[in-house]
Chains A and B, each alone.
Chain A
C-alpha cells in the first residue's frame, strides 16, 4: 500500500521569507501523481500544486514550487515570499495513475507565518 509521510508537524516562516515543507512517499508504482493541498481554518481543501511522476521537470505555480526526486521518493514544497494568507495546514498527497483512484494523504504540516 502507498504511504505518505510528512515529518514536520509544524513549521514557521517570517513573512516574505521562503520555507520548504518535506514529504516522502512509498510506492511500487512507476506512474502516479503527487499533490500539495492547503487547508486553511475554513476547512476547505485547496489544491496548491501537482506533479506527474513521468515528468522530470518540477512543477511551479507562482510562489509555489516543488522539488520532485523520484528515485528518492521525495516531494517537497517550497513557498517563496511567504504571505500571511499562506498560514494553513499543508497536506502532501499521492494517487495512482488512472481514473478515479483514491488519494492518500500525509499527516500534514501546520505552517505559521510570522508578520
Chain B
C-alpha cells in the first residue's frame, strides 16, 4: 500500500485567513481525493485531483473556497480559503490502493478556526 505523509497534523487559524494542507505519496498515483470530516461526522468528498488537469469538485464545494494543486503524480495541496469557524474539521487526503481496491488515507489535518 502507498504511504501518505500529510501535514500539518493540526493548526489553529484566525478567521479570514487561509491554510494550505500538503499530501506527499511515496509512489506515483493517478488520482488523489480530498475529504472533509466535520466534528462527529462522516467523511465527505471535497474533490478529486488528477495530475495535469483541474480538480473535480463535489456538489457544495467550489474552487474559490478549496483550491487544489496537483503538480505531479506524488503530491497535492488543498487550501482552505477565507476561513470561518464552520471550516473547523479534519481534512484527509487519500489515494486508491491498487492491491485492495480500497483507499489509503493520510493521517489527517485537524483544523480549528477561531
Binding site for B on A (CB under 8 A): 33, 35, 37, 42-45, 47, 50, 52, 91, 95, 99-100, 102-108
Residues of B within 8 A of A44 (CB): 105, 107-108
In the complex, chain A residues whose CB is within 8 Å of the CB of B33: 102-103
Q: Given the interface contacts A33-B102, A35-B102, A100-B31, does A106 sit within 8 Å of B107 by beta carbon? A: no
The main secondary structure of chain B at its interface with chain A is strand
CB distance from A96 to the nearest CB of B (A): 11
- Which partner residue on chain A sits nearest B97 by CB separation? A47
Contact A106 B31 (CB under 8 A): no
Give chain B nearest CB distance to A49 CB in angstroms. 9
- A45 and B92 in contact, given A102-B45, A103-B103, A106-B42 (Cβ under 8 angstroms): yes
The residue that B100 contacts in the complex, of A47, A104, A106, with Cβ under 8 A, is: A47
- Residues on B close to A: CB < 8 A? 30-31, 33, 41-45, 48, 90, 92, 94, 96-97, 100-105, 107-108, 110
CB closest chain-B residue, reference A95: B101
Q: Which residue of B lies closest to A92 (CB)?
A: B42
Task: Kindly list chain B residues whose C-beta atoms are within 8 Å of the C-beta of A100.
Answer: 30-31, 48, 96
Task: Check if B107 sits within 8 Å of A43, measured CB to CB.
Answer: yes
Taking a contact as CB atoms closer than 8 A, the residue among A35, A47, A108 that contacts B42 in the complex is A108
